[in-house]
Amino acid sequence: MNRCKTAWVVAVVFFLAASIAAADNLMSIQIKKGQLRTTPSFLGKIVAELSYAERVAVLEQKDSWIKVRASAINAEGWLHASALTSKTIVLKPGAADVAQSAGSDELALAGKGFSKQVEGEFKTRNPQLDYTAINQMEQMVVSQEQIEQFLKDGRLSPKGGIK
Amino acid sequence: MKTVQTPDLLFTGKRIWLVGLIVSFVAAVLLTGCESMDTVAQIGTAVGVATGTIDQSQAESIQKSAKAVSRSFQDFTPEQEYYIGRTVGAIIVNKYKPYQNTAANRYINLLGQALARASDLPETFGGYHFLILDSDEINAFAASGGFIFITRGLLRCCRNEDAAAAVLAHEIGHVQSKHGLQAIKKSRITTALTTLAVEGTKTFSGQELAELVNTFEGSITDITATLINNGYSREFEQQADLAAVTILQRTDYDPNGLVEMLKIMQDRLRPGGLDFARTHPSPVSRMVDIQKLIGPYRTVSKPDTRQQRFSHYLGDI
């Protein structure tokens, strides 16, 4: 009986240890929307979009670009390293996550600290402060094609980081 | 120049095998005898504690341990940086008012976003956004996370697209190096991040939320006071100019555009002015530092199409 119990506990420990080891090879999207590209460059074609906190498996690294696999949507592609964190981002953190995040660098909590909720409360205290222009500013988005055309029209041939 | 730090990812696969081997060995030992049961139980208990809920006294101990860890501006997540940037930006744009010219703002966004991609921090939580401010002051501001503002007065110091690109690239440099966050007092960062450790154990409400908003307000005040009144240190401005030169070169713009812009700015700044005259090192000293990097000044060449579009969108700014 004892032996069975021990075997069961060992299985659990093995699972946890394997998870921790595997976690080293996983990263999280740390921006609102991560775009997977065909090549390690902003000029690469966008093949898929990933959401904040989504976990991806690291396949390859080339300078500041990382090739990942997003199992959930069965897609592979390149992301700039600044879009990724080695931390696990918890979208709806509970007490255990908070306990863990306080003592380690492995977890990040979404929506905590300076967040949408804090901004909302700040707005209530400062009703004269108008966010309209900031919201409009965020809506001014230019596409990949427009940037490429802009560079081409301006006789610009980017190198290094942009490629 | 600060570079993006990326973990050594390619060796982790080997570690998985190593852990697997070690655990398999331990399992084999345990299955032939139960002497190590206590150790295993201790591990199990630790796992159990970690997955349980915690009470206030435990939360206090978390707070102490969180305080023990060195906290700095680098502990803010990109998401938090974004919310700081939004409010700093709202304060700037309420003070100065946006320039209502969609075509000019669109042009500045195309230019700015092309440049941001060549920076060391091309991806921020909400992306880079640029806005022209309707002001004659010679001024520009970079709020955390990539909200960048530039006055009509400063754009009037630019005679070509390379010069305008230099102005935007300098501001991207401030974002990339997180200079805004570094303006927040250290004590406030500690408060913000330790409050998170305790407050995160429940839904923010009442007093706890009020305290966090106080810290947020204080942080915003620290940043706006630096951006608008006091300016960054000379060291930070040099870092931003250095970043600008790199970004311009990577994008194929001539960094002499920055020198040309500074020459015009030198003539236009008025002593005692509440703009770059107060918040930035003198244009002459900046030019000296920049030319150490790029060599003697030479005139920026202006391909026709580039100059035409610059004149079209910003010629009458």
What pLDDT shows up at residue B49? 34
Q: Position A115: which residue type?
A: S
Question: In this predicted structure, what is the pLDDT of residue B209?
Answer: 83
Q: What's residue B190's pLDDT?
A: 81
pLDDT over threshold 80, residue B279: yes
A20 against B33, higher pLDDT:
A20
- Which candidate from A16, A115, A134 shows the least CB-CB separation from B90? A134
Mean of all residue pLDDT scores within chain A: 85
Instruction: Give the three-class secondary structure for B158.
Output: coil
pLDDT over threshold 70, residue A161: no
**B7-11, B181-185, B292-296 — which is least confidently predicted?**
B7-11
Host H or E run for residue B26:
helix B12-31
Q: Is the pLDDT of residue B34 over 50?
A: no
Residue B296, Cβ density class (10 Å: 0-12 exposed, 13-18 middle, ≥19 buried): exposed
Please return the burial class of B182, using the count of CB atoms within 10 Å of its CB with bins 0-12, 13-18 and 19+.
Answer: buried
Answer whether B252's CB lies under 8 Å from A154's CB: no
Query: Is residue B48's pLDDT more than 50?
Result: no
How many Å apart are CA B133 and CA B146, to the nearest integer? 16
User: Using the beta-carbon criterion (under 8 Å), do B10 and A158 form an inter-chain contact?
Assistant: no
pLDDT score of A59 more than 70: yes
In this predicted structure, the answer to whether residue B76 has a pLDDT above a threshold of 60 is yes
Query: What is the rounded distance in angstroms from the CA atom of residue A61 to the CA atom of residue A58?
Result: 8
pLDDT at B273 exceeding the cut of 70: yes
Per-residue model confidence (pLDDT) at position B283 = 94
Q: Which of B164, B307, B135 is nearest to B228 (CA)?
A: B135
Q: What is the pLDDT of residues B233-262, one digit of tens each?
A: 889 999 999 999 999 999 999 999 999 999
Look at the alpha carbons of B207, B213, B216, B221 in this order and tell me if their dihedral is positive or negative.
negative
Q: Kindly state the average pLDDT of the residues A66-71.
A: 96
**What is the percent of chain B with per-residue pLDDT over 90, rounded to a whole number?**
57
Name the residue facing A113 among B63, B86, B192 (closest C-beta).
B192
β-pair type (A46-51, A84-85) = unpaired
B315 pLDDT above the threshold of 90: yes
Q: Given a cut of 80, is residue A159 above it in pLDDT? A: no
Q: Does A120 touch chain B (CB under 8 A)?
A: no
Q: Which of B47, B117, B120 sits opposite A16 (nearest CB)?
A: B47
Residues of A in contact with B131 (CB under 8 A): 133, 137
CA-based nearest residue in chain B for residue A16: B47
pLDDT tens-digit profile of B183-204? 898 888 887 777 666 655 455 6
pTM of the prediction? 0.80
pLDDT band at A4 (very low <50, low <70, confident <90, very high): low
Question: What residue of B is the nearest CA neighbor of A106?
Answer: B75
Mean pLDDT, chain B, whole residue set:
80
